[in-house]
Amino acid sequence: MSLREQKKKETRCRIFEISSRMFREKGFENTTVDEITKEAGIAKGTFFNYFPTKESLLYYFREQKEEFIRTIMNDQISLGISSRQKIENFLVQVAEHYEKERELLRLLFFEQKKLLLTTGHEKSCHSDKRKKHEFFINMLADFVREGMHKGEIRSDADSKVVAEILYAVYFHSLMIWLHSEKDYSFSKDMSAKIAIIFEGIGV
């Protein structure tokens, strides 16, 4: 790696580290780009060479989270357990992971405008990006389809629709949990709701 690339990487990293520390310490709105650049020892304009907006720092963070989620998913794929177990494990493990950094997630979800809306249905120019945003629902849909084939999930519904329901409940529960002052277990809440979704609310 050339000196140039090396330096770029370092600067990008330094900006990111400093920002996330400052965001945690003083909040997103109360941290200015000026402060960040001053602390990072660069000019203001340089910041925008690395991140197009202040908000995009949060996007970057989110991407890292997605990477992690993907690994949790992959861990489940080849296990010899029921699809319901796989789905539950997947969602509960994500929840457990999130429980470790509630404050950070609050930052991510409550300070962002557009990103909040990653419903998994973003229109985007790049088919690449598209996949990236839909990835969570698609992952779930894979599990659901598998369950349908194995006869563990009713197959008279569209797998995508079922995955959407699961994701909707996951996402909303996450929001509720992040908003809440109480520190109940998000993962247990998830677990209970999955049970209800599988068994139905009707008598």
Partner DNA sequence: GGTCATAAATGACCACAGTCATATTTAAGT
Partner DNA sequence: ACTTAAATATGACTGTGGTCATTTATGACC
Residues found near DNA in the complex (CB under 7 A): 2-5, 7-8, 11, 31-34, 42-46, 48-50, 52-55
Q: Are the CB atoms for 161 and 121 separated by under 8 Å? A: no
DSSP 180: -
Residues 6+ apart with CB under 8 A from 14: 40
Residue 116 binding its own copies, by CB under 8 A: yes
- We find the least distance from the C-beta atom of residue 23 to DNA, in angstroms, to be 11
Question: Rounded distance, CA 89 to CA 74, Å?
Answer: 12
Q: Are the CB atoms for 117 and 59 separated by under 8 Å? A: no
49 interacts with, out of DNA, its own copies, none, CB within 5 to 8 A per kind: DNA
Question: Rounded distance, CA 51 to CA 55, Å?
Answer: 9
Site for its own copies in 137-166 (CB under 8 A): 144, 151-154, 157, 161-162, 164-165
Residue 202 binding its own copies, by CB under 8 A: yes
Question: Rounded distance, CA 191 to CA 85, Å?
Answer: 10
- We find the least distance from the C-beta atom of residue 140 to DNA, in angstroms, to be 33
111 interacts with, out of DNA, its own copies, none, CB within 5 to 8 A per kind: its own copies
- We find the least distance from the C-beta atom of residue 5 to DNA, in angstroms, to be 7
Q: Are the CB atoms for 165 and 140 separated by under 8 Å? A: no
Q: Are the CB atoms for 83 and 153 separated by under 8 Å? A: yes
What number of chain residues touch its own copies (CB under 8 A)?
46
What's at 186, amino acid-wise? F
- We find the least distance from the C-beta atom of residue 106 to DNA, in angstroms, to be 18
- Which residues would be at the binding site for its own copies (CB under 8 A)? 84, 109-114, 116-117, 119-123, 144, 151-154, 157, 161-162, 164-165, 167-169, 171-173, 175-176, 179-181, 189, 192-193, 196-203
